[in-house]
Amino acid sequence: MKVERPLRLHSQLTGPRIETLRYASGDEAIRAALYEALSEPLFADPASVRPQLEKLVNDWGKADADTEGDDEEVDDGGAKKSLAEGKKKKLLSEATWKRDAMLMDVANKLRKELGDGLFEDHNIFLKQVEAALKKIDLKPSVADLKLIVSAASWRVEDAARVIKKVHLPGKGGRATSIKPDPLRGFFEEKIDGKTCTVEYEPDSELRDFEQIPLLEEGGIEAFILREVLPYTPDAWIVEADTKIGYEVSFTRHFYQPPKLRTLAEISADILKLEQETEGLLSEITKGATA
């Protein structure tokens, strides 16, 4: 049975965090070396430095690599290796460099609108990011926005829980069709003065799995209430990922331990060894006397 806990984040659009987006497409070590060699034109106008970029990528590791075509850029001895064709293609792609430049540009424009202050509630941060993007008329893709938000955010144990979905009340103040059920991840919260049912983003790093005996008294709910919630009161179960099965202990049912010798057998072996030892000592002593 899968047990989830909510994601809790702080967010801040600082210069160093935005800078990490420069290599959002991966291969940071190689791309950093290429950027050091070719500077800002590599991101602003990759076509203008295409010949130099091709030479650097094609010559990567030729001077000190013993093997070629390896995906790894460094061998066991610390020497650079030549690059695999797939990696070369990615490093030579203008679209890849322009995408990372775009991510940094959008993040810097958001920073200009929102400042570099700390957001202790990630939900407020997301709302302000959305409003700022509308104001400056930018529409990054969902994937690109996720990268920007991720770069500006980090886990904090006591931060506000990150909201995944809000089930609003119906018209006329009628209750939402989704009833609160904290044990299954549906929590009752007040948002803008309205009582809503809220689902939170799960934190994959806090995810856990429990094995519950089939004949557990009170079933899954009793087990969670007794063994989980007293220690992690914000946890919930994911019934869709609950599986019923059997665990067979092969050691318990099929293992046959070797038969142990009796004390009499062990004593006999010890006496025999003592006798052999005494004989050896006698021969050694006799030889020394002669």
Greatest CA span in the chain, whole angstroms? 117
| Inter-residue contact 186 to 155 (CB < 8 Å) | no
For the chain, 290 residues long, give each residue's pLDDT as a single digit of tens: 899 999 999 999 999 999 999 999 999 999 999 999 999 999 999 999 999 999 999 988 775 544 444 444 455 445 556 788 999 999 999 999 999 999 999 999 999 999 999 999 999 999 999 999 999 999 999 999 999 999 999 999 999 999 999 998 766 555 567 889 999 999 999 888 888 999 999 999 999 998 888 888 888 899 999 999 999 999 999 988 888 887 788 888 888 888 888 999 999 999 888 887 776 766 776 665 55
**Would you give the DSSP letter of residue 259?**
P
| Inter-residue contact 59 to 72 (CB < 8 Å) | no
Q: Which two tokens stand for residue 201?
A: 């983003």
Beta-ladder partners of 186: 181
| Cβ neighbours of 10 (radius 10 Å) | 18
CA distance 155 to 53: 37
Residue 122: closest CA among 143, 145, 152: 152
CA distance 62 to 82: 6
**Would you give the DSSP letter of residue 239?**
G
Phi, psi of 10 (to 5 degrees): -110, 155
